[in-house]
Chains A and B, each alone.
Chain A
Amino acid sequence: EGVLTQSPGTLSLPPGERATLSCRASQSVGHGYLIWYQQKPGQAPRLLIFGTSSRATGIPDRFSGSGSGTDFTLTISRLEPEDSAVYYCQQYGSSPLYIFGQGTKLEIK
C-alpha cells in the first residue's frame, strides 16, 4: 500500500515570505497524478493544484506545484494571512486508489 509523507508537520512564517511544502511518495507517482488541496478550519477541502503543477480554477498564481517521481513540492509565494490552512497532497492510481498525505499546517504570523 502506498504512503505519502508530508513535511514539515507545521510551518510558521510571516506574511510576504515564501512557503515550501514537501510531499514524498513511497512509490513513484504516475505522470500528472499528484494533487494538492487546501483546508481551512471548519471548511471542506478545496482543490488547489492538479496534474502536479496545474492550478485549479480561481487559484492565484502565488500557488505553484512541481516535482516528479517520488518528490513533490507546493510553493506559496508572497504569503498572505488567508493562506493559513492545512495543505494535503494526494496521489491517484495506487492502492488505495486515492491516497492522502497526513497534511502540513501552515501558520502565517
Chain B
Amino acid sequence: EVQLVQSGAEVKKPGESLKISCKDSGYRFTNSWIGWVRQMPGKGLEWMGSIYPGDSETRYSPSFQGQVTISADKSINTAYLQWSSLKASDTAIYYCARQREGSSTSFGYWGQGTLLTVSS
C-alpha cells in the first residue's frame, strides 16, 4: 500500500526559511511524479509544482515559480518543498500527492498534509 507521510506542523516567523518533507513508502518513487498542492484556510486546492524524482525534472505553476523550490532525494524516497523567506500569506496546509499508477494526469495518493502557520 502506498503511503505518503509528511513532516509535522510548523510555526514560523515572516522572513524565516523552511523545508517540509514527504516520504513515499511505495516502490515507484523514482518513476512517478510527486506534486505539491496548497490549501489556504477555508479555500480550495492549488497546484504548486511537481517533481519526477528519477531525473529531478521539475515543473512549476506560474503562480509559484520563483516563490518555492521543489526537490527530491531518491535514495530515501523523499520529496521536499522549500521556502527561503516566508510570508504571512504562506499560511496554509500543504499536501504532497503522487500520480496515479500509469498516468500523470491525476493524483492517486495523498499525504496527510503539513499545516504551516507564518505569524510574527
Q: Report A's interface with B, CB cutoff 8 A.
A: 1, 32-33, 35, 37, 39, 44-47, 50-51, 56, 86, 88, 90, 92-93, 95-103
Nearest-CB distance from B45 to chain A (Å)?
4
Q: Which of A86, A93, A99 contacts B47 (CB 8 A)?
A: A99
The 6 closest A-B pairs by CB, nearest first: A96-B61, A98-B47, A44-B110, A92-B105, A35-B106, A100-B45
Q: A45-B95, A50-B105 are in contact. List 10 more A-B contacts (CB 8 A).
A: A32-B105, A33-B105, A44-B110, A44-B111, A92-B106, A96-B62, A98-B47, A98-B61, A100-B44, A103-B44
- Cα A98 to Cα B110 with chains together (Å): 15
In the complex, the chain B residue whose C-beta lies closest to that of A95 is: B62
Specify which chain A residues have a CB less than 8 angstroms from the CB of B45 in the assembled complex. Answer: 37, 39, 45, 88, 90, 100, 103
Nearest-CB distance from B9 to chain A (Å)?
13
Q: How many contacts A-B (CB < 8 Å)?
A: 66
B47 and A97: CB pair below 8 A? yes
Q: Report B's interface with A, CB cutoff 8 A.
A: 35, 37, 44-47, 50, 59, 61-63, 95, 97, 100, 103-108, 110-113
Q: Which of A56, A97, A102 contacts B44 (CB 8 A)?
A: A102
Specify which chain B residues have a CB less than 8 angstroms from the CB of A50 in the assembled complex. Answer: 100, 103, 105-106, 108
- Cα A37 to Cα B108 with chains together (Å): 10
A45 and B110: CB pair below 8 A? yes
B46 and A100: CB pair below 8 A? yes
- Cα A90 to Cα B100 with chains together (Å): 14
A88 and B108: CB pair below 8 A? no
